[in-house]
Amino acid sequence: MLEKISHLLGRKPPEHATRKQLHKLLKRLKHRQRELEKRCEHTDDAHERKRLEREIKVIREQRRKGVHLYRELRK
Amino acid sequence: MLRKLLLPVILAILAYGLWLSPEFKEISAGVAIFLFGMLSLEEGFKAFTGGRLEGLLRRTTDRLWKALGFGVVTTTLMQSSSLVSVITISFLSAGLLGLAQGIGIIYGANLGTTTGAWLIAGLGLKVKIAEYAMPMLVFGVILLLQRSKTLRGIGYVLAGLGFIFLGIHYMKEGFEAFRSAIDLAQYAVPGIQGVLIYTLLGILATVIMQSSHATLVLTLTALSAGQITYLNALGLAIGANVGTTITAVLGAIGANVDGRRLAAAHVLFNVVTGAVAILFIQPFMAVVEHLARWTHLPAGDFTLRLALFHTLFNLVGIVLMLPFTGRMVCWLERLFRVRRPAVVRARYLHEAALEVPDAALAALRKEVVHLFEQAFGILAHGLNLHRETIISDFDLDHLVEAPPRLGDYDIEAHYDLRLKQLYGDIIDFASRLRTTLPEKRADELYQLRNAARGIVEAVKDVKHMRGNLVHYTSHENPYIRAEYNRLRAMLAKVLRELHRLLLEEDADVTFLSLDRLKVEIREMEREQDERLEQLIRARRITPLMATSLMNDAGYAFDAAKALINAGQTLYRASDQAEDEAERSLQLEKDEIDRLAGGDQSS
């Protein structure tokens, strides 16, 4: 009972909440990556293209990290 | 002087009373035990406020009616309007609640606290509650000695309830014994005069005991023992309602202007409600009698009628005041104005915020964002740019090429005026908070203090490079001019992104998008190194220019990194799970280096 109370009163969110949020965040990042890739395809400005490519690269790395963490949490 | 004299006078009167009458001794002991029980109960609930109550407060008070409901429910559960008002003031001081929502909670707490009279009149005086007090005290004290914070909290709650029950028992016994010795009812004052006199007595008793609950219990026990008349008891209940505002007034002493506004609203609401109750005492009594008959209350049970009256006039007060809440907020904002000092001081760090760890950390976070806001202007001007230029959507790479106009800007003087004291306030608050903060939250405090230090160091970095920046951005050599302008544009970009993240809450700039900025800066750092070597080899810039540029580039990149780190510490997603998810995807230093193409190991 005490465990239940401390869980109820505890600040740490349950693991499934973090996993759910992670899933949502990964979807959002994927969507953003697709959007940036489309914009990158249509831009002629070299400076803008470089900026977009950099952002895509960072998102890809964040997604890779996120997918790994998501799989760990699912285990 | 008066305050110094007041305590010895009260103690002397009490000592005389205790020596004179054993019944008075029993009643006073009952009040003392009851008050001690209230303190224990508050202490117990404070143990549970490490997140849950604060989280609930944040989520459920976005509308006035929700705030009102929150006030009713929490005060009913905790039986302490004082604790609810103190938490509300600390949250308001920390800027986590609006004044209108704070007022809503206070309205609700006033209604919630009336349930206490129902419990005492319905159970406390009818059942032999002292029998329940003893086991509660035994279990309570055992739990109090445990290490676990939760168990200790339960222990405080149990012991508190035990003492409250015991206090009520002693008061009841005292009044029973008093009845056989002296009949206080002979001092009853009839009519409106009696209501007024007893209202003043109720205010006085509540101010002295700082608990409307204690006054109400005394009133109810005296009423049930027939020591006071029903009409006079109504006066005492009204007085207790007005007198209870003293807790909020005392709580607001250490609070900021918002806390004082809320305390004033509390006083205003309770005084208006009390005045309405006195003015319309006869209609109120008639309605109470009607409701009592309708709900089949026993004919001679005046204690339950008093509880009904208490709830009714508070409810009428809410109905009367609720439509004017918006106007009250405007009026209070005009009455208590925020004074803008020449030297910028902390806005959110107040004694009241220190009471609750969550509120204190939230206040500190907001204050460090305030520090960033102040630093933003200094940094912008230090880079010879205007705030508006940085906030705008214009291309910064082109904007920095415009001739500089702020050559005489005294960054040191502005640092002294706008940052030094504010930073001092933050450090002072953080040090005091460290002593009361639970160990598991210490890291959060440490990060916030580091973020503040990072912001201040960024300003100092810009201060160091400013002399050369002013000199070389108007230099005839186009190469050195371009290099310094690149540094200006880079820092301006960082400021723009952080402004969008922390102050505008722009959806396009997120916690994770700052990683892109980190990669960009790392790339720029590497490119700048390569360019510098080429410029020296091709003799485009003098060796003196090169050493200046190397030093200043170091300052600029350090400032940019410190600011981004501060921004990532200060950013908070609306939801804790979302925040944790975002932080878990944040790229580490080696990942940033690898993406920027500067890591040889990968």
Which residue shows structure tokens 């995807």?
B585
Task: Quote the pLDDT of residue B602.
Answer: 36
Task: Summarize pLDDT for B153-169 with one digit per residue, the tens.
Answer: 888 888 888 887 788 77
Under 8 Å between Cβ of B98 and B58: no
The CA–CA distances, whole Å, from B428 to B249, B363, B365, B424, B454 equal 25, 13, 14, 6, 17
Secondary structure of chain A: what % helix, strand, coil (to 5)?
85, 0, 15
Task: Quote the pLDDT of residue B435.
Answer: 85
Task: Quote the pLDDT of residue B125.
Answer: 61
In this structure, chain B runs to a length of: 602
Q: Is the pLDDT of residue B306 over 80?
A: yes
Q: Would you call B150 an interface residue with chain A, using a CB distance cutoff of 8 Å?
A: yes
Q: Is the pLDDT of residue B601 over 50?
A: no
Mean per-residue pLDDT, B87-108: 79
Q: Which residues contact residue B557 at a Cβ distance below 8 angstroms, ignoring those fewer than 6 apart?
A: B490, B521, B524, B525
Q: Is the pLDDT of residue A62 over 50?
A: yes
Q: Which residues contact residue B410 at a Cβ distance below 8 angstroms, ignoring those fewer than 6 apart?
A: none
State whether A22 and B581 contact (CB < 8 Å).
yes
How many angstroms separate the CA atoms of B77 and B333, rounded?
A: 32
How many angstroms separate the CA atoms of B496 and B301, rounded?
A: 69
Q: Is the pLDDT of residue A2 over 60?
A: no
* Residues from chain A contacting residue B150 (CB–CB below 8 Å): 2, 5-6, 9
Tokens standing for B102? 């704070």
How many angstroms separate the CA atoms of B481 and B470, rounded?
A: 10
Pick the most confident of B163-172, B555-564, B566-575.
Answer: B555-564
Which of B55, B515, B580 minimises the CB distance to A58? Answer: B515
Task: Quote the pLDDT of residue B555.
Answer: 95
Query: Which carries the bigger pLDDT value, residue B389 or residue B275?
Result: B275
Segments making up each domain of chain A, as ranges: 15-74
Task: Quote the pLDDT of residue B27.
Answer: 80
Listed range (B210-219, B287-296, B520-529) with the worst mean pLDDT: B210-219
Model confidence at B228, pLDDT cuts 50, 70, 90, reads: confident
Alpha-carbon dihedral angle through residues B247, B249, B255, B261, given to the nearest 10 degrees: 130
Under 8 Å between Cβ of B383 and B492: yes
Percent of chain B with pLDDT over 90: 22
CATH of region B356-595: 1.20.58
Mean per-residue pLDDT, B427-440: 87
Model confidence at B552, pLDDT cuts 50, 70, 90, reads: very high
Task: Summarize pLDDT for A48-57 with one digit per residue, the tens.
Answer: 888 889 899 9
Q: DSSP character for B148?
A: -
How many angstroms separate the CA atoms of B19 and B602, rounded?
A: 86
Task: Quote the pLDDT of residue B253.
Answer: 66
- In this prediction the ipTM stands at 0.79
Q: Would you call A36 an interface residue with chain B, using a CB distance cutoff of 8 Å?
A: no
* Residues from chain A contacting residue B52 (CB–CB below 8 Å): 8-9, 11
pTM for this predicted structure: 0.60
State whether A29 and B512 contact (CB < 8 Å).
yes
Average pLDDT, chain B: 83
Under 8 Å between Cβ of B302 and B119: no
Task: Quote the pLDDT of residue B480.
Answer: 93
Mean per-residue pLDDT, B22-37: 82
How many angstroms separate the CA atoms of B568 and A38, rounded?
A: 28
How many angstroms separate the CA atoms of B323 and B406, rounded?
A: 51
Secondary structure of chain B: what % helix, strand, coil (to 5)?
80, 0, 20
Task: Summarize pLDDT for A4-17 with one digit per residue, the tens.
Answer: 555 555 444 456 66
Q: Is the pLDDT of residue B122 over 60?
A: yes
Q: Which of B74, B79, B77 is nearest to B88 (CA)?
A: B74
Which of A18, A58, A66 minimises the CB distance to B516? Answer: A58
Model confidence at B554, pLDDT cuts 50, 70, 90, reads: very high
Listed range (B76-80, B104-108, B363-367, B455-459) with the worst mean pLDDT: B76-80
Q: Is the pLDDT of residue B598 over 60?
A: no
Segments making up each domain of chain B, as ranges: 25-335, 356-595
Task: Summarize pLDDT for B338-356 with one digit per residue, the tens.
Answer: 666 578 888 888 877 777 7
Mean per-residue pLDDT, B75-97: 72
Model confidence at B183, pLDDT cuts 50, 70, 90, reads: low
Single-letter code of the amino acid located at B61: T
Crossing angle of helices B99-112 and B257-279, in 10° steps, is 40
